[in-house]
Amino acid sequence: MRKFFQEIKADLKFKTAGPGQKLSEPSRVPKEKPKAEAAPKPRQGPTDEVQMAAAAALARMELKAKAKLPSSQEAIKNQVRKELMAEAAASEKGLSVEEKDLASPDREGAAALSVSGVYFICPLTDAVVRKDKKEKHLREAIQSYFSVDPVAASIMEIHTFNKDREKVRVGVETMAKYLDNICLHPEEEKYWKIKLQNKVFQEKISCLEGIHRFFQAIGFETKTLPTTEEYYVLKKEMLTKLEDLKHYKEQLLSSEPVRAQLDRQLSVFKPSPEAARFELPSDFYNLTAEDIKREQRLRTEAVEKASMLRTRAMREKEEQREMRKYNYTLVRVRFPDGYILQGTFYAREPVSVLYNFVREALRDDWLPFELLGPGGLKLTDENLAFNECGLVPSALLTLAWDAAVMGDIQVSGQEQPASPLKPELLSRVQTLS
């Protein structure tokens, strides 16, 4: 098949589009006529759909080059991993059997579940941790980095563990003004000191987690002055390092929260009649155990509710309530050969991430396809969220190839692979229980 696609590329001139631009109409390059002894039925030329799809693939490939992490980020990861490995080894010895089972995604007790839980990837360590362990792991990772770069670690704390983003914005901007005054007027002693009981300091800065460690890291120390009041006072040696203070200020203003990335838990399953059966853990629900029981009871009354005459406002209110019940969704995509691709997503993510997820699992990621919901309904608006499409807390979708493109592939006579999925995914195919 690849040989066929290479021939297409050689025969055609493509104009690839940049991000946000439309592809121009591909143009054909004249070919020499086949000789008399050629095969009686010459291969038909590729259709416009094939040309456009291949052009789109080439554009994606050009944009797909992944940049390496900056060396500073690599240094962070390496050091944090080193610090945590010793702690993990020690804590592992103290784990009870029950705790070890809960920490393991592949525990035997979860065999009846479609997925054992919701997991996240820590950006500082690349470790995969369960949802309920996520914040604890992030705290430990940031804490471990204090021995490497206390300023960066304290800034991570400020931006990550203070949930009110507006308070963080106001606090760091106020802190930046303090540092600006020092850098602009280093000779004026009044700017070296910050009164801890100052109303502005108390209301806008002192309330932020991590802020006091930041002060200590950049060269302030706590002193009780003759007035018997406590102050942060800048160490005199820092007045010779004003460029460092400017850098710390910019770092504080420009940093973002450290966020763990949702682990898709990509899985591939053999064809199975159990594909439409889902058993989800409580991690997927934005509900308590009692809420889940109540929801199950309410579902039994759905038929009666459906027969009632409801106003549009009532229906919309119920739909909004339904969308808020789930934080995550487990989606399966069944291929024409029966194989099933599974992944975990946020309920409020756009469906476009699912199309990308599927495309990245294909041998030939340029092949055009559609995803069909229950009843053959096409998911055409990729900007809609999963919960807006009713694809929560789980869904089984069907993948359908573009008929014209597949027809061209068949006409080419090229041998097709047994499965369109990447070999490395097929090598770890599972069986649905």
Q: Which residue has the higher pLDDT, 3 or 246?
A: 246
At 279, is the pLDDT very low, low, confident or very high (cuts 50, 70, 90)?
A: very high
Position 345 pLDDT exceeds 80: yes
- Encode pLDDT of 210-234 as tens digits: 999 999 999 999 998 777 789 999 9
> What does the alpha-carbon distance between residue 393 and residue 370 come to, in Å, rounded to a whole number?
21
Q: Which residue has the higher pLDDT, 317 or 411?
A: 411
- Encode pLDDT of 35-63 as tens digits: 444 444 444 555 555 455 555 545 444 44
Q: What local confidence, expressed as pLDDT, does residue 216 receive?
A: 95
Residues 245 and 331 in one domain: no
Q: What is the mean pLDDT of residues 279-286?
A: 87
> What does the alpha-carbon distance between residue 407 and residue 392 come to, in Å, rounded to a whole number?
34
SS3 of residue 256 by DSSP: coil
- Encode pLDDT of 115-142 as tens digits: 999 999 999 999 999 999 999 999 999 9
The tokens describing 28, both together, are 């054909």
The tokens describing 186, both together, are 């280093």
Residues 337 and 229 in one domain: no
Identify the domain boundary among 199, 225, 254. Answer: 254
Q: Which residue has the higher pLDDT, 321 or 169?
A: 169
Q: Is residue 143 part of a domain?
A: yes
Q: Is residue 268 part of a domain?
A: no
Q: How many domains does the chain have?
A: 2
Q: Any idea what the Cα angle at residue 168 is, between residues 148 and 192, rounded to 5°?
A: 70
Identify the domain boundary among 236, 254, 272. Answer: 254
Residues 215 and 340 in one domain: no
- Encode pLDDT of 375-425 as tens digits: 888 999 999 999 999 899 999 999 999 988 888 888 887 777 788 999 999
Q: What local confidence, expressed as pLDDT, does residue 246 receive?
A: 96
Q: What local confidence, expressed as pLDDT, does residue 121 receive?
A: 97
CA atoms lying within 13 Å on the CB side of residue 361? 29
> Rounded to the nearest 10 degrees, how much is the dihedral formed by the CA atoms of 352, 355, 357, 361?
-160
CATH number of the domain where residue 248 is located: 1.20.58.2190
Q: What local confidence, expressed as pLDDT, does residue 313 receive?
A: 53
Please name which of 30, 76, 25 lies closest in space to residue 49, comparing C-alpha atoms: 25
Are 116 and 110 in contact by the 8 Å Cβ rule? The answer is: yes
Residues 249 and 346 in one domain: no
CATH number of the domain where residue 367 is located: 3.10.20.90
Residues 427 and 338 in one domain: yes
Q: What local confidence, expressed as pLDDT, does residue 308 receive?
A: 55
40: which DSSP letter?
S
Q: Is residue 98 part of a domain?
A: no
Position 160 pLDDT exceeds 50: yes
User: How many other C-beta atoms are found inside a 10 Å radius of the C-beta of residue 68?
Assistant: 7
In the chain, the amino acid numbered 151 is V
- For the stretch 181-188, contacts whose Cβ atoms lie closer than 8 Å and that sit 24 or more positions apart, written own/partner, are 182/234, 182/239, 182/242, 182/245, 183/242, 183/245, 183/246, 183/249, 186/239, 186/242
Average pLDDT of the residues of the chain: 78
- In percent, the amount of the chain with pLDDT more than 90 equals 55
Please name which of 364, 243, 276, 374 lies closest in space to residue 1, comparing C-alpha atoms: 364
Q: Which residue has the higher pLDDT, 85 or 8?
A: 85
Q: Is residue 36 part of a domain?
A: no
Q: What local confidence, expressed as pLDDT, does residue 229 receive?
A: 87
In the chain, the amino acid numbered 92 is E
Q: Is residue 277 part of a domain?
A: no
The tokens describing 411, both together, are 């006409």
Sequence-ordered list of residues with C-beta below 8 angstroms from that of 98, at least 6 positions apart, any chain: none
Residues 145 and 233 in one domain: yes
> What does the alpha-carbon distance between residue 376 and residue 432 come to, in Å, rounded to a whole number?
23
Position 258 pLDDT exceeds 50: yes
Q: Is residue 288 part of a domain?
A: no
Q: What is the 3-state secondary structure (H, E, C) of 277-299?
A: CCCCCHHHECCCHHHHHHHHHHH
Q: What local confidence, expressed as pLDDT, does residue 291 receive?
A: 58
Are 345 and 329 in contact by the 8 Å Cβ rule? The answer is: yes
Residues 357 and 243 in one domain: no
At 374, is the pLDDT very low, low, confident or very high (cuts 50, 70, 90)?
A: confident
Q: Which residue has the higher pLDDT, 19 or 225?
A: 225
The tokens describing 280, both together, are 């989800």
Identify the domain boundary among 233, 254, 275. Answer: 254
391: which DSSP letter?
-
Q: Is residue 184 part of a domain?
A: yes
Please name which of 245, 253, 151, 252 lies closest in space to residue 192, comparing C-alpha atoms: 245
- Encode pLDDT of 331-342 as tens digits: 999 999 999 999
Q: What local confidence, expressed as pLDDT, does residue 322 receive?
A: 57
In terms of DSSP H, where are the helices of 258-376? 289-299, 302-307, 312-323, 352-360
Residues 250 and 128 in one domain: yes
SS3 of residue 58 by DSSP: helix
Domain that holds residue 244: 121-254
Q: Is residue 115 part of a domain?
A: no
Strand partners, 231: 195, 223
> What is the Rg, in whole angstroms, of the alpha carbon atoms belonging to the chain?
29
Strand partners, 12: 28
